Amino acid sequence: QLQLQESGPGLVKPSETLSLTCTVSGGSISRSSYYWGWIRQSPGKGLEWIGSIYYSGNTYYNPSLKSRVTISVDTSKEQFSLKLSSVTAADTAVYYCARDIGGSPPGPFDLWGRGTLVTVSS
């Protein structure tokens, strides 16, 4: 049974970089035609797609965040990662990793991690 699990700091200071990793277990990132995505959920903005990556490294980002986002993949570790730079309080949210069966454009997302709350505060 494929599972996804987010990990990373729950507290990030303003202007710093948020870094999260998603570990895929029970399956392989590279042995499929799926993309792997990041979605966040905040009370103010609801569900927001951040970006998606293919095992080859091909990426698609939400234009509203593109200047601050980097998504990368490490197939040897069955992980993909999110970096969001220059964070502000508006980036406080629950961050989910998910399997993206579309790619470009992204969605639907058929498997999700449990999510991790990231708070931006000094």
Partner 1 sequence: DIVMTQSPDSLAVSLGERATINCKSSQSVLYSSNNKNYLAWYQQKPGQPPKVLIYWASTRESGVPDRFSGSGSGTDFTLTISSLQAEDVAVYYCQQYYSSPSSFGQGTKLEIK
For residue 82, with 0-12 CB atoms within 10 Å meaning exposed, 13-18 middle and 19 or more buried, which class applies?
A: buried
- In angstroms, what is the minimal distance from the CB of 15 to partner 1? 25
Q: Residue 113 CA to chain centroid, in angstroms?
A: 10
Nearer to partner 1, 35 or 55 (CB): 35
Contact residues toward partner 1 (CB under 8 A) are 46-49, 60, 62-64, 96, 98, 102, 104-110, 112-115
Nearer to partner 1, 85 or 103 (CB): 103
Report the alpha-carbon angle 102-34-65, nearest 5. Answer: 60
- In angstroms, what is the minimal distance from the CB of 100 to partner 1? 9
